[in-house]
Amino acid sequence: MPSYSTIETTKQVLLSSFENNLPVLPEVRARGLEYVEFSGDSPEPLIPIVLQAHESFAALKGLEGIIAVVLSKQRFGLDQDLKASVNCSHAALFPAMSFLSTVDGVHKWNPEMKKKIVDTDLNQVYSNVYRRMLTNIYPTKDGRFYHLHASLDATPSFKALGLPPYDEGRNEYQAAQKVIEQRTQQLSSDEIEATIRAIKQAGSPCLTREEFLASPYGRYVSSRPLFELKKLESTSPVLKLSPEGPNILSGVKVLDLTRVIAGPVISRTLGEYGADILRVTSRNLPDQSYYAVDFNFGKRTIDLDLKSPEGRQVFESLLEEVDVIVDGYRPGAFAKLKYGPEDILKRFAGKRGFVYVKESCYGDGGDWSDRPGWQQIADSVSGVSWANGKALGLEEPVPPPFPLADYGAGELGCIAALNALHYRMTKGGSYFTSVSLVKYNDWLLSLGSYPAPLWSSMLTAHGNDIRKLRHNSNFDQVGLAAINSMQRLHPHLWDSEPDFVYEALNTPFGAVKTQSPVVRVEPYKTASKGWITATRPAGYDSSPRWA
């Protein structure tokens, strides 16, 4: 087999990202690879999946770097040969972040972690094994597979399926899965789909790539660019940022209105560029507690109830100065509160511009755009789970290692935000930009699989850690199997590569070890220092104001 280069493949993947009318300004499209330098060539991709996930993340980090360099030149008037640097191996670890990070040396799955974080699992979808196991692929009566999801409250789906919302006697994975599987095998995939749609909860039949592309929605998504951009108005002035900096996004104010993974990844990455970020959450709303450890770097966090007059008053005062809004809630949630993009547009009336970034499972267009969804649902509906299962030699879908779609959409959201800011800095106006988990998966699948000899070599190297996985292997089992295998094969990547690791010794959680920023644009990015603000729990800061 000819030698394989992750760097050369990454460059090809990066060029493919410009297809389907990627909405970037000509300077970004024309200069492309001139503004980014890749390193960290690996003889084999690190992520144990037949799809080009390793190269996709390296390429997206490259695209992020290209736009960051363009923004640097726009802001600081630089004439020198400035480039972004991206280590491809570092980028490949990006979607494995939560499996590698620790607090005081304790990993996410250690029972001791519960003592170090604020519990926001209000509906026990993570702490209760039975409720957690609703999020899994299950066989159906007609010989198909369906991916159920507990979302942040498993009760509606349990009740709709005729199952008790709680079953304290089922406190082991297999026992909990067995009672749910007994019910799904009494129903066809279409019957479960109709039930889940009727209650507006997340779930999806497991489709092959061919079945997805045969649907009207699949055809629509495959025709769209990696992110959408819509100009909302063109009368507000050009965004002017001080040439004193010191960072690329110094002075840019970002409201983070997100939960769980993809949305918080967007703002975490913007924080690497020195933006002033406020993450707004509510103690009345559930979230996944642990992810705050990684995703609240670069942010201050406040608690607001946007359904109360007091909370709305504070929130609207913050809106008066905002530059970027990142919305990761269910489609239409903020429009119902009168804080959607059209509402913000009316509020500003062209006096000042803004960027509204919408992250969702299905995206902003197509006939499925109003559906709720999660990473696992995006994997099932797009064909990723089936592609993974078949590559493992099985006739069943298997979840991919790590929340690839979450991190992929999160990275696309950061790129989309940087791109929209580039438009504001050069043309003025306000912009709506959107990304979706399904679109990242659609693009990943479009890149094709690794050559058979390469995949065979990868599969042999990863061995039983990966071969033992099945359709009912849940999120944690799949991720842990992948990270254990990667660490066995490449221990130096985390333990001996200090540039890949960022340590914050004094945080409200304790001493946090997480992944350092991947893209480096020295000295105009905060990469050498990590983030201006250390991580903290949700609602930690008492003062709801910009820095």
Please determine, for residue 414, whether its predicted confidence score (pLDDT) is greater than 60.
yes
Helices (H), 77-161: 88-92, 97-100, 129-132, 155-160
Mean pLDDT of 395-409: 97
Is pLDDT at 533 greater than 60 in this prediction? yes
Helices (H) and strands (E) in the chain, counts: 24, 16
* pLDDT interval class at 31 (50, 70, 90): confident
Given a cut of 80, whether residue 80 has pLDDT beyond it is: no
Nearest to 493 by CA among 54, 15, 23: 54
The answer, yes or no, to whether residue 1 has pLDDT greater than 60, is no
131 has a pLDDT exceeding 90? yes
How confident is residue 3, by pLDDT bands cut at 50, 70 and 90? confident
The whole-number average pLDDT for the span 111-137 is: 93
Distance CA 88, CA 46 (A): 10
355-373: average pLDDT: 96
| The token pair that represents 466 in the structure block | 């990966």
Using one digit for the tens of pLDDT, what is the confidence trace for 109-120?
888 998 999 889
Q: How confident is the model at residue 494 (pLDDT cuts 50, 70, 90)?
A: confident
Domain 129-205's class?
Answer: alpha beta
pLDDT of residue 183 exceeding 70, the answer is: yes
The per-residue pLDDT of the chain, averaged, comes to: 94
Cβ atoms of residues 400 and 390 within 8 Å: no
Is residue 2 predicted with pLDDT exceeding 70? Answer: no
- Determine the straight-line distance between the first and last CA of the chain, rounded to whole angstroms: 55
Q: Which pLDDT score, from 0 to 100, does residue 527 have? A: 59
pTM of the full structure: 0.97
Distance (Å, whole) CA 260 – CA 486 = 24
Question: In the block, which residue shows the tokens 């998504």?
Answer: 221
CA–centroid distance for 273 within its chain: 18
| Mean local confidence (pLDDT), 406-421 | 98
pLDDT digits (tens, 9 = 90+) for 151-163: 999 999 999 999 9
Residues 6 or more apart whose CB falls under 8 angstroms from that of 517 comprise: 269, 272, 502, 525, 526, 527, 530
Nearest Cα to 13, choosing from 46, 51, 52? 52
pLDDT digits (tens, 9 = 90+) for 454-474: 999 999 999 988 999 999 999
* Residue 446 pLDDT: 98
For 13-39, what is the mean pLDDT? 93
102 pLDDT above the threshold of 90? yes
Task: Give residue 298's region: left, alpha or beta (phi > 0; psi -120 to 50).
Answer: left
Question: The tokens of 331 are what?
Answer: 């489609």
Identify the band that residue 530 occupies on the pLDDT scale cut at 50, 70 and 90. Answer: confident
- Which is nearest to 323 in space by CA: 247, 424, 231? 424
**Is 278 in contact with 307 (CB distance < 8 Å)?**
no
Amino acid 354 reads F
User: Locate tokens 């909370």: which residue?
Assistant: 311
Closest to 399 measured CA to CA, from 417, 380, 427: 380
pLDDT higher than threshold 90 for residue 522: no
Provide the CATH number for the domain formed by 6-121+211-528 in this structure.
3.40.50.10540
Is-contact 516 527, C-beta < 8 A?
A: yes
Alpha-carbon span 403 to 361, nearest angstrom: 13
Tell me what percent of the residues of the chain surpass a pLDDT of 90.
86
Residue 237 C-alpha from the chain's centroid: 31
Give the pLDDT band (50/70/90) at residue 351.
Answer: confident
Please name which of 366, 397, 369, 371 lies closest in space to residue 384, comparing C-alpha atoms. 397
pLDDT value at position 15? 94
What is the model's pLDDT at position 496?
A: 66
| Cα–Cα distance, 256 to 118 (Å, whole number) | 19
Q: What is the mean pLDDT of residues 517-534?
A: 85
Asked if domains 6-121+211-528 and 129-205 share a fold, the reply is: no
Q: Give strand pairing partners of 359.
A: 435
pLDDT tens digits along 284-312: 999 988 899 999 999 999 999 999 999 99
Spatial contact of 494 and 487, defined as CB atoms under 8 Å apart: yes
Boundaries of every domain in the chain: 6-121+211-528, 129-205
- pLDDT-derived band at 547, boundaries 50, 70, 90: confident
Q: At what angle do helices 437-446 and 53-76 cross, to 10 degrees?
A: 120
CB contact set of 372 (below 8 Å; sequence gap of 6+): 151, 200, 201, 202, 330, 331, 361
For residue 480, the model assigns a pLDDT of 93
Q: Evaluate if residue 347 carries a pLDDT over 90.
A: yes
Q: Give the number of other Cβ atoms within 10 Å of residue 237's Cβ.
A: 12
Residue in the block written with tokens 């509204």: 356
Burial 158-178 (b: 16+ CB within 10 A, else e): beebebebebeebeebeebbe
pLDDT tens-digit series, residues 478-490? 999 999 999 999 9
The first and second tokens of residue 78, run together, are 């630089």
For residue 47, count other CB atoms closer than 10 A to its CB: 22
Neighbours of 58 (CB within 10 A): 30
Q: How far is CA 214 from CA 34, 219, 227, 254, 435, in A?
A: 38, 7, 22, 39, 22
The CA R_g of the chain, rounded to the nearest whole Å, is: 22
What is the per-residue pLDDT for 498? 78
Confidence of residue 40 (pLDDT cuts 50, 70, 90): very high
What count of residues does the chain have?
547
Phi, psi of 460 (to 5 degrees): -65, -40
Phi, psi of 528 (to 5 degrees): -65, -20
- In this prediction, residue 528 has a pLDDT band, given cuts at 50, 70 and 90, of low
Question: CA torsion, points 483, 484, 488, 490, in degrees to nearest 10?
Answer: 10
DSSP secondary-structure letter at 470?
Answer: -
Rounded to whole angstroms, how far apart are CA atoms 502 and 499? Answer: 8
